[in-house]
Amino acid sequence: MIERCSNRVANLAHFLTRNAKRWPNRPAIVWEDQTWSWQNLDRRVSALSSALSSDFGIAKSDRMLVQAQNSHQMIEIMLAAFRLGAVWVPCNFRQAPGETAYAAEKSKATIFLCDAEYAVQAEAVAAACPDLSGIVSIGESAFGVSYEALLEKHNGARIANAEVDHNDPCWFFFTSGSTGRPKAVVLTHGQIGFVVVNYMADLLPGTGETDASLVIAPLSHGAGLQLIAQLSCGSAHILMPKGGFRPHDAFQLIERHKVSNMFTVPTIVKRLVDDPCVDQFDHSSLRHLIYAGAPMYREDQKRALEALGPVLVQYYGLGEVTGNITVLRPDEHSVDDGPYARVGTCGVERTGIEVSIQDETGKILGPNETGEVCVVGSAVCAGYLDDDGANAKFFRDGWFRTGDIGHMDDQRYLYLTGRASDMYISGGSNVYPKEVEEILLTHPAVSEVAILGIPDPQWGEVGLAVCVTETGQQTDAADLSEFLKDKITRYKMPARYLFIEDMPTSAYGKITKKLVREFLTEKGLL
């Protein structure tokens, strides 16, 4: 093996630096009635970087924990972290205080930036990390330092992008693990640099500085990757107004700003095309509607193609592979169920990615043989933060083991047929039952619990909590929902509860989801 002479790579914030020089007055972010040009955004990011560095001592490799809804500030914080060579650690804005405190501890956060409404989370983080250098409030609040006051104080400061190497971390991507506790996936500058090139080649070909992207999904996850990718070509980013997702608002923005692409999940696509306003606005500018996070029901896929035209782009990916495993392009989506329709596939390998189907021993299987989906390529993460057990489990002979079960056909189209874990997908978000089960088992009335993913017309899947109560104890769905309310993110909470006398077990006394599901089906309860 020949060692590289240099591992230096471009800092991801260089995209912003370049855009500010090439297109200083073109729109970078549009949110409600405000527009920030590339030059203005670059200046604000430098001011924030200066404030973080001089007022809080933030330097290369420090971890910046963030809990905020989509906003121009969320984007500025991400880019400031990159500019300083620090690590962006975004949380799902729906997280409960305990979950945010755990993320702070796991990441060894140096500073916490959050929306003003998250005072309880700020309190929890401060208690979990007493050595925190500070808390910054986005908006007026009784806690922390004012975000806008910091930028005003450092207005006009110029901060250069830090020198970074390929393996320098830039993003800790939290993904729930089947062991219950979320794991921090380590994403690096070099890795994301590759992902950007791959993203633009495979998902958004032909996208440039005159295009606009509608941001619907949280920037803390997949939408953040799409945004970074399009930084490379100077596309404008249109943020949805506050107050939750409304199809009318989305179509209005698509028409007004001639939006050419967007990233979302199948449940949102369904809401868009089922809404009457789909025929009330001009959406002819839309070229790429990317969906991921869950398979789309075939009838929903047909309806979307009929309503929007050949614009659907499906990808399959995990946080650990930075959303970068397979792609099903617009020309591979079909309204007709003919012999050439690729029904049920999530596409073929992305550029620079190799997929294999392996058995339990690591043997690579042939076409149409079912096994675990495994991946190699430059999009694979550096590993899990401070988790030797998870790294040993999920990496084998250089391959990343996804935990998903499937097969590839003769043309290398991938078909997912199941999951090695008990995970289910609700509204595009992965839910790992063990995490919720462990919390429910702390309730004094709960003796045993098994959570199953069951079909739901709106969310794709929701959780059904099958419970056995302690002898002499009583509880109900309302009580358990209230018990979970401040302990777990809302989308992870079971939608239904079922109480049974005894939990079905295997011959070895083990509770398996397969047995529970079979028992409920037998009894007519599922």
Domain spans of the chain, in order of start: 8-185, 348-419, 424-522
Query: From CA 128, how far away is CA 442, in angstroms rounded?
Result: 21
Tokens describing residue 397: 């002979």
| Per-residue CA distances from 171 to 65, 139, 185, 189, 190 (Å) | 10, 24, 8, 8, 12
Torsion of CA 314, 318, 324, 329, to 10 degrees: -10
Query: From CA 137, how far away is CA 80, in angstroms rounded?
Result: 16
Query: From CA 104, how far away is CA 121, in angstroms rounded?
Result: 10
Query: From CA 119, how far away is CA 510, in angstroms rounded?
Result: 42
- Structural contact between residues 371 and 362, judged by C-beta atoms closer than 8 angstroms: no
Superfamily of domain 348-419: Luciferase; Domain 3 (2.30.38.10)
According to DSSP, the residues that pair with 238 across neighbouring strands are 30, 214
Question: Within its chain, how far is the Cα of 424 from the centroid?
Answer: 15
Encode 57-88: b = buried (16+ Cβ within 10 Å), e = exposed.
ebeeebbbbbbbbbbbbbbbbbbbbbbbbbbb
Residue located via tokens 């929890």: 124
Please state, as a whole number, how many other Cβ atoms lie within 10 Å of the Cβ of residue 414.
Answer: 21
The pLDDT value recorded for residue 179 is 47
pLDDT tens track, the chain, 526 positions: 899 999 999 999 999 999 999 999 999 999 999 999 999 999 999 999 999 999 999 999 999 999 999 999 999 999 999 999 999 999 999 889 999 999 999 999 999 999 999 999 999 999 999 999 999 999 999 999 999 999 999 999 999 999 999 999 999 999 854 446 789 999 999 999 999 999 999 999 999 999 999 999 999 998 999 999 999 999 999 999 988 899 999 999 999 999 999 999 888 898 899 999 999 999 999 999 999 977 677 888 999 999 999 999 999 999 999 999 999 999 999 998 877 778 889 999 999 999 999 998 999 999 999 899 999 999 999 999 999 999 999 999 999 999 988 899 999 999 987 777 778 888 888 787 888 887 898 899 998 899 999 999 888 899 999 999 988 999 999 999 999 998 888 899 999 999 999 888 764 456 778 789 889 988 888 8
| Per-residue CA distances from 62 to 27, 103, 193 (Å) | 30, 14, 20
CATH no. of 424-522: 3.30.300.30
| Per-residue CA distances from 78 to 195, 312, 354, 503 (Å) | 17, 28, 30, 47
Query: From CA 453, how far away is CA 304, in angstroms rounded?
Result: 25
Query: From CA 169, how far away is CA 62, in angstroms rounded?
Result: 10
Torsion of CA 197, 351, 261, 242, to 10 degrees: -70
| Per-residue CA distances from 521 to 66, 451, 506, 508 (Å) | 43, 15, 17, 22
Query: From CA 436, how far away is CA 449, in angstroms rounded?
Result: 10
- Structural contact between residues 116 and 140, judged by C-beta atoms closer than 8 angstroms: yes
According to DSSP, the residues that pair with 136 across neighbouring strands are 113, 145
Residue located via tokens 């009580």: 479
- CATH number, domain 8-185, options 3.50.50.60, 3.40.190.10, 3.40.50.980, 3.10.180.10: 3.40.50.980
| Per-residue CA distances from 126 to 86, 324, 360 (Å) | 20, 35, 44
Tokens describing residue 323: 């959303």
Query: From CA 304, how far away is CA 271, in angstroms rounded?
Result: 10
